[in-house]
Structure 1
Amino acid sequence: MNFLHISALPVWSMDGKGGMPSLRETLKGHLAAGHDLQLVLPKYDPFSDDDKPMFVPADKGFVLHFAPCRWLLPLKKLRVQARGKGDSIPFGFRWILNVTMLLGLTTSLMVKAMQVRRNGFVPQLVYAHNQYAALAGYLLGRWFKVPNVTRLYGTFLADLMNRPLVSLRYPTAVAGYLVPSALLICANDGTRGDEVARKFRIPDHRFRFWQNGVEPPSQPPQVTRADLVARFGLNLRLESRWAVSCSRLSYWKRIDRMLRALAVCRGTGVDCQLVVAGDGPEKENLHTLAAELKVSDQVVWLGAVAHDDIWALMNTADVFMLTNDVTNRCNPLYEAAWAGLPVVSVNDSSTSDLLHHRANALLTEKDDTETLGNLLSEICRDEQLRERLGQAQKKLSETFWTWEERMRVEVAELEKLVSGVGVMAGGR
């Protein structure tokens, strides 16, 4: 079958070392099932401030088309100016910018997709990634007379649904739910997208709430700690305990909590290094905070790291740290469980069914960095505790889908949708 994908999200950010693993795995899963894919992307990442064209790998396996989106660069500059030296934009102006971007992306993605159709690719399904592509997906589906699918990668709406005029105040976020689709797939990532769907009365027969899969290597990485020290530099010390963090350096990821915990841990006399894999807008602020806390020599900033190296870190580190604000139910947590890596994290309803204090993790309240640091110190000092929690993590990972399993379920439903059989509700 011919699947036309349109996305407002980058598939390979950070020059191909990061980005959206769930989006990449979706594309890989559709290809693995034998379907023909063509993907339409904006030429520039709408959600970053830089003006670099999107990165394209050589071995993508499908046909890629860029919508020029010449209007996007001026809009991005305007967004930076509106933000000024602060972290936020006044609500009214942010509303205008977001709606403008939604309408601009809808137009640009549609124009390019219609050109793809004129060039001979006849789609049997339109698959839109993210709320900013949802309206274009719906209009293209109607134009081509084929089913359209919307895929959402989390939401911030769950805590706002009881406030008045939500649809008017957050039209771009709401678009992912209210723009009609034959099937709406929402990630079970802890942001409670299922609650939002119920509030908007999305019928069960066209809604799927699925947890992401994990794609482990066929065998554990053969890389040793000494190999990683040689690869990443002498700042990474072989004799230290390694606490690894894998995330984009955005504010809501709250790497600052880890730095404060690291300072407490150091005060107990434990030699622990925080190994941070990731890059992002908070990098400079975090470096400054590390210096203020006098832990700069205890932090190893790896920047964007290839996925194979993430697996190697997971299999050689001593502990995994995760202290996000919004949700801690994320792909790195699943991968840490698969690697049998014990977790030091925060109490969070999004992971209450996955992480249990002193069963497979050590947990404290989100802003109690003193206790967080003491827990980090404890697990670094206690080898038996690390072993016991790690074994429990491995047991937890047995309940997860692999990406192959996750995509097999999705592809089966898409094939039924295209063939007109319809879909049945279900899934993890």
Structure 2
Amino acid sequence: IVSHFLRRRIPHRLFITSFQGTVLYPYLGIYSKRKIVREFPLEYFSHKVKADLIIMTDDGTQGDKVLEAFKHNRDNIVFIPNGVQVSNYTQDIDINSKIMNIISKSKYTFVTASRLVVWKRIDRSIVVFKHFLTLEPNSHLIIIGDGPEKQSIEDMIDRYSLRDSITLTGFLDHKRTIQIIKHASMLFSFCDYSNMTNSIQEAAYLNIPVATINDGSTDSILNEENSVKANISQDFAQEIASEIILFFRNPDRKTNSNGNIFTWDERMDRISYEIKKRLPQTKCGNSKDNSY
């Protein structure tokens, strides 16, 4: 509402909206005219405003489908990966001694790094790990993050009697999360909707292999040399656990593929470029007003 008011009051200015991913995809098709306003996520109202440039972070939350549902002009939309902050990867940060002890004593250490919400499907990671554990008992799963699904995840761990083989760290800051991923054998990501998440980009940048769903969303950065993928099926967990074993036992595997990962500086350069090319031009081809 405020944005709409400002646009009407300040004409002839470039109007930009930016979204760090979206929370709306699960709601598409649910809402109707009968729903009252307070039931809509606040992001809904941001999409009601038409902008000259819409920057949507390509983080696996299906922003393309959300923007399509709101009928935004495709020429005004730019999808840009979040970008990794290179300085965070070169620093050595102390990790909890318990976690480091787990990593050092385990033959294989797996990690998930996300908010504990339903669509992240941490339950799939637990089931995959349960199958893997029957093949390689000296293994451990570290679940980083907090959220509304924490209790149900803990209940699942107890139900499968995996308390000694799975550790929940709770919330960790980004630098400590990166340190754990850096020391892990593999990252798990089995989300609904899409899997081009920040943690997958970070793992790929660190040359840590990834196990994920073969949904096409990660094809630009993950291939058979740095990942294990499987289609969702009745035997998904058992199938991908077996594929992970084969992956680790392959002496020719390579994980050095971080050349396709956006850095934060590259993200800023791309945003700057997209803004500048939309600024009003003079007859000489220079911007009338370079403030933005």
Q: What is the rounded CA distance, in whole Å, between the counterparts of 1:204 and 1:319 in structure 2?
A: 37
Deviates most, 328-337 or 210-219: 210-219
Shift, 1:205, TM fit: 4.0
Q: Determine if the alignment matches structure 1 residue 216 to structure 2 residue 81.
A: no
Q: Is the 8 A contact 2:89 2:178 kept in 1?
A: no
Q: Is the 8 A contact 2:3 2:49 kept in 1?
A: no
Provide runs of 4+ in structure 1 moved above 6 Å: 156-161, 163-171
Q: Determine if the alignment matches structure 1 residue 365 to structure 2 residue 235.
A: no
Residue aligning to 1:291: 158
Shift, 1:289, TM fit: 0.5
TM-score (norm: length of structure 1)? 0.56
Residues 292, 376 of structure 1: alpha-carbon distance in 2 compared, 3 angstrom cutoff: farther
Q: Determine if the alignment matches structure 1 residue 181 to structure 2 residue 51.
A: yes
Code of the aligned partner of 2:261: F
2:271 to 410, 422, 428: 410
Residue aligning to 1:374: 242
Q: What is the rounded CA distance, in whole Å, between the counterparts of 2:161 and 2:30 in structure 1?
A: 46
Q: What is the rounded CA distance, in whole Å, between the counterparts of 1:221 and 1:164 in structure 2?
A: 45
Shift, 1:375, TM fit: 3.1
Residue aligning to 1:390: 255
Q: Is the 8 A contact 2:143 2:169 kept in 1?
A: yes
Q: Is the 8 A contact 1:191 1:350 kept in 2?
A: no
Shift, 1:312, TM fit: 1.5
Q: Deviations over 1:226-273 (max 9, x none)?
A: x64626475x25220211111001111111111111211121243111
Q: Deviations over 1:48-101 (max 9, x none)?
A: xxxxxxxxxxxxxxxxxxxxxxxxxxxxxxxxxxxxxxxxxxxxxxxxxxxxxx
Q: Is the 8 A contact 1:244 1:274 kept in 2?
A: yes
Residues 167, 217 of structure 1: alpha-carbon distance in 2 compared, 3 angstrom cutoff: farther
TM-score (norm: length of structure 2)? 0.79
Code of the aligned partner of 2:280: G
Q: What is the rounded CA distance, in whole Å, between the counterparts of 2:60 and 2:88 in structure 1?
A: 28
Structure 1: gaps (5+ residues): 1-134, 424-428
Q: Is the 8 A contact 1:327 1:348 kept in 2?
A: yes
Q: What is the rounded CA distance, in whole Å, between the counterparts of 2:60 and 2:190 in structure 1?
A: 14
Q: Determine if the alignment matches structure 1 residue 420 to structure 2 residue 280.
A: yes
More helix by share: 1
Residue aligning to 2:196: 329
Structure 2: gaps (5+ residues): 288-292
Q: Is the 8 A contact 1:329 1:350 kept in 2?
A: yes
Q: What is the rounded CA distance, in whole Å, between the counterparts of 1:310 and 1:383 in structure 2?
A: 28
Residue aligning to 2:16: 149
SS of 1:390's equivalent in the other structure is coil
Residue aligning to 2:118: 251
Residues 166, 401 of structure 1: alpha-carbon distance in 2 compared, 3 angstrom cutoff: farther
Q: What is the rounded CA distance, in whole Å, between the counterparts of 2:89 and 2:274 in structure 1?
A: 30
Residue aligning to 1:239: 105
Count the aligned residue pairs: 275
